[in-house]
Structure 1
Amino acid sequence: MDRHRRRTFLGISSGHSDPSVAVVRDGRVVAYAEEERFVRNKHAVGQYPTRALRYCLDAVGLRLDEVDSVSVGWHSEAYSDGRMARFFEELGQQWEPDPGTLAWQRDCLRRLSVEGMRAHHHRHWRREFGDLDFPPIQHVPHHYTHAFQAALESPFDPAVTLTVDGSGDEHTTVLWLRQGHELTPLREIRMPHSLGWFYAAFTEYLGFDAYDGEYKVMGLAAYGHPDAALAKLVGEVLAPAPDGVEFRVDPRFIHYGAHTYSARFTDDLVALLGAPPRPVAGAVGQWHKDLALAVQTALEEAVCRLVSWAVRETGVRDVCVGGGVGLNVKMNARLLALPEVDRVFAHPLCADSGAAAGAALVTCHRETGLVPPPLTSLALGPEVSGEAAAPVLAAARVPFERPADLFADIARDLAAGQVVGWVDGRLEAGPRALGQRSILADPRAVEQRDRVNAVIKQREAWRPFGPAMLASAAPRYLEPEVVDSRFMTMAFRATDELRRDAPATVHTDGTTRVQLVHRDANPRFHRLLTGFEALTGVPVLLNTSFNVRGEPIVSGVEDALRTFWATGLDVLVLGDLVVRKEPTGAGGEGR
């Protein structure tokens, strides 16, 4: 290997679901992709991220044997030297584990050990690339991976940093203090006390899939009414710890017992609540909405106690959030509303798929001393341009236009009630569409929201949509004073002006999950919003991910075309090309 070239660090996340690959150079992520976007199978459960790996290598023009290392976000040494085995044994002495839990523990000890990781990755690399001189595998503790990524890619220094997920190594939640490039743990909470497991259990109880449907529970909670009796029952599952700061989960309701209905909760939870779980196709009643609210409230109160303590202890008022629970935008908003907190940054790649990037960033820092700059864009995946799309459209005999002023034309379409599939530039990383693979609509009428839900997204009618908004418009549309929410990781209270101007983007509880669009980070999307404002006076668009229910966000031209023709979309934009279901008659190539 030529050591005079730029050093390149790969990160791979290849757990049960959401496998992904990232490339780090010069202290920053330069490419990232999730396997589901290539195989078109949501979450790509059980698959190795082979296609994502090939994309990332191609993006930097290297072979696998030319990268410096591959990092994984697991403390594999602890699975190899007996530490995790002893931890599991100690757990078993406190709570008698059921067969499923024992099987999971044995699988972790085998799969996440140094040897297990080496065998797993080498087998897939050898199958795909042959017998190369494979790069070394670096192991980074799971919660440190989340914390480094969230804190070091935030604009805050110093910062209290909260990492919270299902579990990672022995931990479920850790509070850290970031000072410069140093991260110091302040509190550590271990299995079985897990907010991620708590929320996943109720996600499945309410008839959704764990680690997929949590955002549905969060959305459903907005329709709930406070119910003291339900809150008391939920409080038996998740309660404050004796110290009044931490939380404790009663594992009898999650792991240790009979699992007639789900692997995520025991029959004791069903007995506690006094009602059977909602079937997947069952009706959603008010009781389910009230339960969702009780669960969401319990989660928020647990993290608020932790963060409030950390702020008091350190005097640091800015907060970063990492780990999969950080995708809960209502929780993040509740943290921001704490009087002792000034600003909150929830990392948009906080889940385990994003740990591919986090682990590579840690290794790069350890070996080069480089610290990543604050995150400003997630446009890190495969690129779509008009030049690349044109031959695909021609081969498929799909007529298209190349407008003289794309942004003015599409702004007029949106203002006239057309719904647009917008595919532009590099695919954004993570679960939120941010103006690279978006479905866009006029936000001024709730009928547009309902149409997008019913005939395009094909999802539950109660699910909310968020706005993409010019960053300059935030003071007039959002409360309280807004942090820079450019990645849709925060919910804010909508002002009366937003409810009047863009009601389709305001949830039933008066909040809105917003993307603030900056010209320097996404100039083309910013230009479209500016054009829409010039026509309507409203610098806002309804923005949702370009996919239908049960499918990943589209990646390439073929994905976009399939979804376009299979739904009620009116217009498809591919770079500087436009496809219409009802051509306007304007002169265009491919017509």
Structure 2
Amino acid sequence: MFILGIWDGHDSGVTLLKDDEVLFSINEERLSRRKLDISFPEKSIEYSLNYLGLKKEDISVIAVSTTEFAKTLWRMFPFLKENYYLIRRKKKGYSSFNAFKKKLKYKITELQLDPLSKWISRLIIKNKLKQLGFKNFKLVIYDHHLCHAISSAFISGFDKALVITIDGIGDALSGTISKLENGKLERIKAISGKNSFGIFFEHVTNLMNMRELEDEGKVMALANYALPIEDDKNPLLDFFTIDGLDVKAKYSSLKTYNELKKILWVYPSEQFAYMAQRTLEIKITELVRNAVKETGFKKICLTGGTCSNIKVNMLIKNLPEVEDVYVFSHMGDGGLSMGSAMFANYELNGISEYDFKDVYLGPKFSNDYIKAVLEKDKSGNISYEYIEDIEKKVAKLFFEENIVLWFQGEMEYGPRSLGNRSILAPPHSEEIKNALNLIQKKRVWYQPFCPSMLLDDAKEILEDLKGTPNAYMTMGYMVKKEKQKLVKGVINIDGSCRPQIITDYNSKFARLLLEYKKLSGVGILLNTSFNLHGEPLICSPEDALNTFSRTPAKYLVLENYLVTKK
């Protein structure tokens, strides 16, 4: 039985399952080239089926998430969704009428679910799927936070764990706490959308003239440059109260925005960012501690957009009462297609465990395909050669302090580049880091880069490897002080980093790190996403060449082909 999971909201996409295997997952942005695309994922559906050699009649079940009134309204009137997308990404001016619509958005997303809204969503989605050529299929629609929870719980490898979802809002909730035991998920707490950590941090991001749902990581990064203040002098800590498993916001969403605006004018931007970040850290860790105490469950699964905050995740991991933490790699709404497909599989087939080895779930391109693409290039600006032992050659380029654009294997699922669609560089150079930020990626100066490292090196340089080594760059770690000079290009000013820790040494990327270690003494590289700022991660060799042509980088690797600018 083939099951197709669909998400048609922020960062839309699809997942295809069969039995206990995830066959393919992709987000619409990778094909449309519109970052965090919100369109119905028609391109993703067609691409996935074609890639796997399937026909629409092969799909038995289609699973979708979220039927709140706001989502149903967007499905009825797609232009409203498009307008919001343009405003949120600052592609369209922010008029007073748009301000009114923003207020209305927070009001309607907090509305409780109703059967009529779900019925209308079902009708619209079913008609859309029939228009695309699907005929004999079962359509199932699931709760937003249930899909978040399932996607983390069922691939965590934990038999018994707390599953915590935290985001802005979805189906009138901003979070849930559930118990996972023997393949079954039991929700023990739902956090109302009126008490949202995610919307609080969205407001902070917006007020700092950044893009909500996209630039929260910049707020976290900027917070590192603030002069810390005592917690009892942080006015933002009063915005939330934690009582057991209850989360209570002091103000409504709209009042929160206005109160934050008043405080912003009193403090420097980095101080404001620090106070907001510290608020999340204190309040969320308090909630987790209470949940562990109440249930006795000491392993934690985290998911939902707010769980992209690696500093909060690090503090949760380091709690003495917590044994291990799993953070789903695609924790934001872009991962909902996987959650909906997995829950359909559980309901219909009883499957709650998956043969989930990694997140390389997108398309792969052969050397023959790449050669054909290179032969079509008529610019005269590049040369290329096939190199059998490509890892050894590229390791030497890194040892000579070069930046290399690296394209290998299946594309990553989720927001992080994990060695298949990556821009790579030596980890020790602040000069290279600054050049990457300001010239290549065109990002703000304070935004850090991440390291990819072999497990053996992680044991040498990281302070605390408690629990399962994090493979997806979803967890913060502190770097030992005496080792920081080795990785100056990939650590924050406070000595922390967000690593990809590689435990399987058989992949081409692992072999590259091993070859570099022979030359440099460390199996660590700076790894950032293969894209320009504001664009999605590249998908195809054509995307790679296009991006390569617009950067100062001299070297591009496409599978076994080394491409060099003349």
In the superposition, the TM-score normalised over structure 2's length comes to 0.89
Query: What SS does the aligned partner of 1:486 have?
Result: coil
Q: In 1, Cα distance between the equivalents of 2:116 and 2:491?
A: 44
Q: 1:564-575, aligned counterparts within 5 Å?
A: 564-575=548-559
Q: CA 1:114/1:27 → structure 2, altered by over 3 Å: closer, same or farther?
A: farther
Q: CA 1:531/1:383 → structure 2, altered by over 3 Å: closer, same or farther?
A: same
**One of 319, 328, 331 as aligned partner of 2:312:** 331
Q: In 2, Cα distance between the equivalents of 1:100 and 1:444?
A: 45
- Does the CA contact (< 8 Å) of 2:407 and 2:558 recur in 1? yes
Deviation at 1:401, TM superposition (A): 0.5
1:450 is aligned to 2:431 = no
Q: In 1, Cα distance between the equivalents of 2:347 and 2:536?
A: 34
**One of 201, 209, 212 as aligned partner of 2:211:** 209
Deviation at 1:228, TM superposition (A): 4.6
Q: In 1, Cα distance between the equivalents of 2:497 and 2:331?
A: 20
Residues 477-517 of structure 1 show CA distances to partners (whole Å, capped at 9, x for unaligned) of 11213432100000100013531222111111110100012
Deviation at 1:274, TM superposition (A): 4.0
Q: CA 1:179/1:229 → structure 2, altered by over 3 Å: closer, same or farther?
A: closer
- Does the CA contact (< 8 Å) of 2:168 and 2:305 recur in 1? yes
Q: In 1, Cα distance between the equivalents of 2:195 and 2:441?
A: 36
* Partner in structure 2 of residue 588 of structure 1: none
* Partner in structure 1 of residue 377 of structure 2: 396
**One of 99, 119, 124 as aligned partner of 1:119:** 124
Q: 1:223-302, aligned counterparts within 5 Å?
A: 223-228=225-230, 232-236=234-238, 238-241=239-242, 243=243, 245-252=245-252, 254-255=253-254, 266-274=257-265, 287-302=268-283
* Partner in structure 1 of residue 83 of structure 2: none
- Does the CA contact (< 8 Å) of 1:175 and 1:186 recur in 2? yes
Q: CA 1:372/1:568 → structure 2, altered by over 3 Å: closer, same or farther?
A: farther
* Partner in structure 2 of residue 587 of structure 1: none
Q: How many residues get paired?
A: 533
- Does the CA contact (< 8 Å) of 1:485 and 1:515 recur in 2? yes
Deviation at 1:187, TM superposition (A): 2.1
* Partner in structure 2 of residue 26 of structure 1: 19
Mean alpha-carbon deviation: is it higher for 364-373 or for 265-274?
Answer: 265-274
Deviation at 1:110, TM superposition (A): 9.8
Q: In 2, Cα distance between the equivalents of 1:231 and 1:395?
A: 62
Q: CA 1:62/1:74 → structure 2, altered by over 3 Å: closer, same or farther?
A: same
- Does the CA contact (< 8 Å) of 2:110 and 2:194 recur in 1? no
Q: 1:81-480, aligned counterparts within 5 Å?
A: 99-102=104-107, 113-120=118-125, 122-123=127-128, 125-129=129-133, 132-228=134-230, 232-236=234-238, 238-241=239-242, 243=243, 245-252=245-252, 254-255=253-254, 266-274=257-265, 287-373=268-354, 375-397=356-378, 398-480=382-464
Q: CA 1:495/1:424 → structure 2, altered by over 3 Å: closer, same or farther?
A: same
Q: In 2, Cα distance between the equivalents of 1:374 and 1:249?
A: 40
Q: Which amino acid aligns with 2:127?
A: H
Q: In 2, Cα distance between the equivalents of 1:190 and 1:459?
A: 35
Q: Which runs of 5+ in 1 are unaligned?
A: 1-6, 81-96, 257-264, 276-285, 583-591
Q: Which amino acid aligns with 1:250?
A: K
Q: 1:542-553, aligned counterparts within 5 Å?
A: 542-553=526-537
Deviation at 1:194, TM superposition (A): 0.5
Q: In 2, Cα distance between the equivalents of 1:105 and 1:337?
A: 33
Residues 310-345 of structure 1 show CA distances to partners (whole Å, capped at 9, x for unaligned) of 211222211110111111111110101111111111
Deviation at 1:354, TM superposition (A): 0.4
Q: In 2, Cα distance between the equivalents of 1:79 and 1:405?
A: 50
Runs of 4+ in 1 over 6 A off after TM superposition: 76-80, 105-111
Q: Which amino acid aligns with 1:486?
A: A
1:531 is aligned to 2:518 = no
- Does the CA contact (< 8 Å) of 1:18 and 1:34 recur in 2? yes
Deviation at 1:30, TM superposition (A): 1.3
Mean alpha-carbon deviation: is it higher for 495-504 or for 545-554?
Answer: 495-504
Deviation at 1:64, TM superposition (A): 2.1
* Partner in structure 2 of residue 12 of structure 1: 6
* Partner in structure 2 of residue 53 of structure 1: 45
* Partner in structure 2 of residue 4 of structure 1: none
- Does the CA contact (< 8 Å) of 2:61 and 2:139 recur in 1? yes
Query: What SS does the aligned partner of 1:164 have?
Result: strand
- Does the CA contact (< 8 Å) of 2:189 and 2:245 recur in 1? no
Residues 517-568 of structure 1 show CA distances to partners (whole Å, capped at 9, x for unaligned) of 2336x61000000000011111100000001111001111111111111112
Q: In 2, Cα distance between the equivalents of 1:512 and 1:531?
A: 23
Q: In 2, Cα distance between the equivalents of 1:344 and 1:9?
A: 28
Q: Which amino acid aligns with 1:344?
A: V
Deviation at 1:167, TM superposition (A): 1.4
**One of 479, 487, 490 as aligned partner of 1:505:** 490
- Does the CA contact (< 8 Å) of 1:385 and 1:574 recur in 2? no
- Does the CA contact (< 8 Å) of 1:422 and 1:439 recur in 2? yes
Q: CA 1:266/1:507 → structure 2, altered by over 3 Å: closer, same or farther?
A: closer
Q: Which amino acid aligns with 1:271?
A: K
1:69 is aligned to 2:61 = yes
Q: CA 1:575/1:174 → structure 2, altered by over 3 Å: closer, same or farther?
A: same
Deviation at 1:231, TM superposition (A): 5.2
* Partner in structure 2 of residue 44 of structure 1: 37
Residues 173-231 of structure 1 show CA distances to partners (whole Å, capped at 9, x for unaligned) of 11111111111222221120001101101011111110011111111111122235995
Mean alpha-carbon deviation: is it higher for 132-141 or for 510-519?
Answer: 132-141
Query: What SS does the aligned partner of 1:211 have?
Result: coil
- Does the CA contact (< 8 Å) of 1:505 and 1:542 recur in 2? yes
* Partner in structure 1 of residue 81 of structure 2: none
Q: In 2, Cα distance between the equivalents of 1:543 and 1:438?
A: 6
- Does the CA contact (< 8 Å) of 2:111 and 2:172 recur in 1? no
Query: What SS does the aligned partner of 1:407 have?
Result: helix
Deviation at 1:151, TM superposition (A): 1.3
Query: What is the RMSD of the two structures over their aligned residues, measured on CA atoms?
Result: 2.4
Query: What SS does the aligned partner of 1:23 have?
Result: strand
Q: In 2, Cα distance between the equivalents of 1:390 and 1:112?
A: 51
- Give aligned-pair identity as a percent: 29
